Amino acid sequence: MSKILVTYFSASGVTKQAAENIAKAVDGDLFEIEPVKNYTSADLDWTNKQSRSSVEMDNRSFRPEIVKKNINLDIYDTILIGFPVWWYTAPTIINTFIESMDFSGKTLIPFCTSGGSGISACERDLKQAYPNYKWKEGKRLTGNENENFIKNWIMN
């Protein structure tokens, strides 16, 4: 079995729960993608066009700064990248993370959490932005998926 790394950005804790469930199901390692400046509830107010998240997502070239951590990607074959869906796609902090690493030769699997949006637009955007990486089909998760569901999705 290949070594799996489950990376995630979670602003409210929902994506963190999904990531923890995945890591447990596949005996993978966890890696949190942390912003240098944490998001507050006011930052996440999508109804306010001046909120931090609204401003970041309005300019898709924006790259929020992340906490730099050392991680040896050489030991992993498969890397999951998890995030909440913001404005029908992955938050720009995910781009910061992807652009800070070299995922050559790895299989990348996106997963998202969302109250209603699916993952298809997220996958399309990630594949268009990073076409040189090998992407596997992602899933929108609730955090309540059972171990068999997770294993079947990732291992097949």
Range of the domain at 57: 4-155
Domain count, the chain: 1
How far is the C-alpha of 47 from the C-alpha of 149, rounded, in Å? 34
| Beta bridge partners of residue 131, listed in sequence order | none
Per-residue pLDDT reduced to its tens digit, 96-127: 999 999 999 999 999 999 988 899 999 999 99
Report the CATH number at residue 56.
3.40.50.360
> Is the per-residue pLDDT at 10 higher than 70?
yes
Q: What does the alpha-carbon distance between residue 105 and residue 31 come to, in Å, rounded to a whole number?
A: 19
Which residues have CB under 8 Å from 19's CB, separation 6+? 6, 7, 8, 10, 30, 80, 82, 111
Whether residue 1 has pLDDT greater than 60 = no
Mean predicted confidence (pLDDT) in 133-147:
92
Judged on CB neighbours under 10 Å (0-12, 13-18, 19+), 128 is exposed
pLDDT score for 142: 84
What is residue 99's predicted lDDT score, i.e. its pLDDT? Answer: 97
Q: What does the DSSP assignment read for 5-40?
A: EEEE--SSSHHHHHHHHHHHHHTPEEEE--BSSPPP
Cβ–Cβ under 8 Å, residues 147 and 117: no
pLDDT tens-digit series, residues 36-91: 999 999 999 888 999 998 898 888 889 999 999 989 999 999 999 999 999 899 99
Report the predicted TM-score, pTM, of the whole model to 2 decimal places.
0.94
Q: How many CB atoms lie within 10 A of CB 114?
A: 18
Q: How far apart are CA 138 and CA 120, in angstroms?
A: 8
